[in-house]
Amino acid sequence: MRFTILTVILLASLGCGGGASDVPELTPATGTVTLDGAPLADASITFELQDAGEGKKSSWGKTDASGKYEMQFGAHKGVRPGKHKVSISKITGDSEDPEKRGDIKESIPDRYNSSTTLTVDVTDGGGPYDLQLQSK
Protein backbone atom coordinates (compact mmCIF):
# COMPACT_ATOMS: atom_id res chain seq x y z
CA MET A 1 0.00 0.00 0.00
CA ARG A 2 2.78 2.43 0.96
CA PHE A 3 4.58 1.60 -2.32
CA THR A 4 1.41 2.38 -4.31
CA ILE A 5 0.95 5.76 -2.61
CA LEU A 6 4.60 6.70 -3.19
CA THR A 7 4.33 5.65 -6.84
CA VAL A 8 1.21 7.78 -7.35
CA ILE A 9 2.87 10.80 -5.70
CA LEU A 10 6.01 10.35 -7.81
CA LEU A 11 4.05 10.07 -11.06
CA ALA A 12 1.92 13.10 -10.17
CA SER A 13 5.00 15.18 -9.41
CA LEU A 14 6.48 14.46 -12.84
CA GLY A 15 3.76 16.59 -14.39
CA CYS A 16 4.44 19.56 -12.13
CA GLY A 17 6.82 22.44 -12.61
CA GLY A 18 8.64 23.84 -15.61
CA GLY A 19 9.77 21.54 -18.30
CA ALA A 20 10.54 21.50 -21.99
CA SER A 21 7.19 23.18 -22.68
CA ASP A 22 8.53 26.34 -20.96
CA VAL A 23 11.27 26.66 -23.58
CA PRO A 24 10.28 28.65 -26.68
CA GLU A 25 11.18 27.55 -30.19
CA LEU A 26 14.97 27.81 -30.54
CA THR A 27 17.24 27.67 -33.55
CA PRO A 28 21.02 27.08 -33.59
CA ALA A 29 23.20 30.20 -33.60
CA THR A 30 26.94 29.76 -33.94
CA GLY A 31 29.69 31.73 -35.58
CA THR A 32 33.09 33.34 -35.25
CA VAL A 33 33.92 36.79 -33.88
CA THR A 34 36.95 38.63 -35.22
CA LEU A 35 38.41 42.00 -34.27
CA ASP A 36 40.47 43.64 -37.02
CA GLY A 37 40.59 40.27 -38.79
CA ALA A 38 41.96 38.29 -35.81
CA PRO A 39 39.87 35.80 -33.77
CA LEU A 40 38.48 37.38 -30.60
CA ALA A 41 38.95 34.99 -27.66
CA ASP A 42 37.14 35.10 -24.30
CA ALA A 43 34.49 37.62 -25.35
CA SER A 44 30.93 37.55 -24.01
CA ILE A 45 28.12 37.81 -26.55
CA THR A 46 24.48 38.67 -25.96
CA PHE A 47 21.69 38.37 -28.53
CA GLU A 48 18.63 40.35 -27.38
CA LEU A 49 15.47 39.60 -29.35
CA GLN A 50 13.75 42.80 -30.48
CA ASP A 51 9.93 43.10 -30.43
CA ALA A 52 9.61 39.86 -28.46
CA GLY A 53 6.73 40.91 -26.24
CA GLU A 54 6.63 39.16 -22.87
CA GLY A 55 9.13 36.64 -21.57
CA LYS A 56 12.83 36.11 -21.76
CA LYS A 57 14.47 37.72 -24.75
CA SER A 58 18.23 37.28 -24.36
CA SER A 59 20.62 34.49 -25.28
CA TRP A 60 24.29 34.45 -24.40
CA GLY A 61 27.55 32.93 -25.57
CA LYS A 62 31.30 33.11 -25.04
CA THR A 63 34.03 32.86 -27.64
CA ASP A 64 36.74 30.23 -27.42
CA ALA A 65 40.43 30.71 -28.29
CA SER A 66 39.62 30.67 -32.02
CA GLY A 67 36.77 33.20 -31.70
CA LYS A 68 34.03 30.59 -32.18
CA TYR A 69 30.81 30.78 -30.17
CA GLU A 70 27.54 28.92 -29.67
CA MET A 71 24.56 30.77 -28.22
CA GLN A 72 22.55 29.51 -25.22
CA PHE A 73 19.02 30.36 -24.10
CA GLY A 74 19.12 29.60 -20.39
CA ALA A 75 20.32 25.98 -20.18
CA HIS A 76 19.34 25.24 -23.80
CA LYS A 77 21.38 25.67 -26.97
CA GLY A 78 20.06 28.17 -29.49
CA VAL A 79 18.20 31.46 -29.75
CA ARG A 80 14.67 32.51 -30.54
CA PRO A 81 14.29 33.32 -34.25
CA GLY A 82 13.96 37.00 -35.20
CA LYS A 83 15.94 40.24 -35.23
CA HIS A 84 18.45 40.52 -32.37
CA LYS A 85 20.51 43.41 -31.04
CA VAL A 86 24.02 42.02 -30.50
CA SER A 87 26.43 43.17 -27.77
CA ILE A 88 29.99 41.95 -27.43
CA SER A 89 32.18 42.58 -24.40
CA LYS A 90 35.67 41.63 -23.31
CA ILE A 91 36.88 42.83 -19.95
CA THR A 92 40.63 42.96 -19.38
CA GLY A 93 42.50 43.47 -16.14
CA ASP A 94 42.74 41.76 -12.76
CA SER A 95 39.36 41.73 -11.01
CA GLU A 96 40.62 39.39 -8.26
CA ASP A 97 43.13 41.82 -6.76
CA PRO A 98 41.36 44.80 -5.10
CA GLU A 99 44.49 46.92 -5.60
CA LYS A 100 44.29 46.45 -9.38
CA ARG A 101 40.54 46.83 -9.93
CA GLY A 102 41.14 50.28 -11.38
CA ASP A 103 42.99 48.58 -14.23
CA ILE A 104 39.86 46.73 -15.40
CA LYS A 105 38.61 48.00 -18.75
CA GLU A 106 36.43 47.10 -21.69
CA SER A 107 38.62 46.21 -24.67
CA ILE A 108 35.84 46.27 -27.30
CA PRO A 109 34.68 49.60 -28.78
CA ASP A 110 31.42 50.95 -27.27
CA ARG A 111 29.64 50.65 -30.62
CA TYR A 112 29.65 46.86 -30.11
CA ASN A 113 28.57 46.79 -26.43
CA SER A 114 27.04 49.65 -24.40
CA SER A 115 26.11 51.66 -27.54
CA THR A 116 25.68 48.71 -29.90
CA THR A 117 24.00 49.11 -33.25
CA LEU A 118 25.01 45.61 -34.33
CA THR A 119 22.08 43.37 -35.30
CA VAL A 120 21.61 39.82 -36.55
CA ASP A 121 18.48 38.39 -38.15
CA VAL A 122 18.26 34.79 -36.91
CA THR A 123 16.26 32.60 -39.28
CA ASP A 124 14.51 29.31 -38.53
CA GLY A 125 17.27 27.35 -40.24
CA GLY A 126 19.96 28.88 -38.07
CA GLY A 127 23.40 29.14 -39.50
CA PRO A 128 26.74 30.64 -38.84
CA TYR A 129 26.50 34.29 -37.81
CA ASP A 130 30.05 35.55 -38.19
CA LEU A 131 30.71 38.94 -36.61
CA GLN A 132 33.59 41.02 -38.00
CA LEU A 133 34.43 43.90 -35.67
CA GLN A 134 36.76 46.83 -36.39
CA SER A 135 38.57 48.72 -33.63
CA LYS A 136 38.68 51.96 -35.66
pLDDT in tens, 58-113: 999 999 999 999 999 999 999 999 999 999 999 987 666 666 666 788 999 999 99
List of E strands, 2-118: 29-35, 38-39, 44-49, 58-62, 68-70, 72-73, 76-77, 82-89, 91-92, 105-106
pLDDT in tens, 23-67: 888 999 999 999 999 999 999 999 999 986 776 789 999 999 999
pLDDT value, residue 17: 47
- Give the CATH number of domain 24-126; options: 3.30.9, 2.60.40, 1.20.120, 1.10.287: 2.60.40
pLDDT value, residue 94: 66
Whether pLDDT at 10 is above 80: no
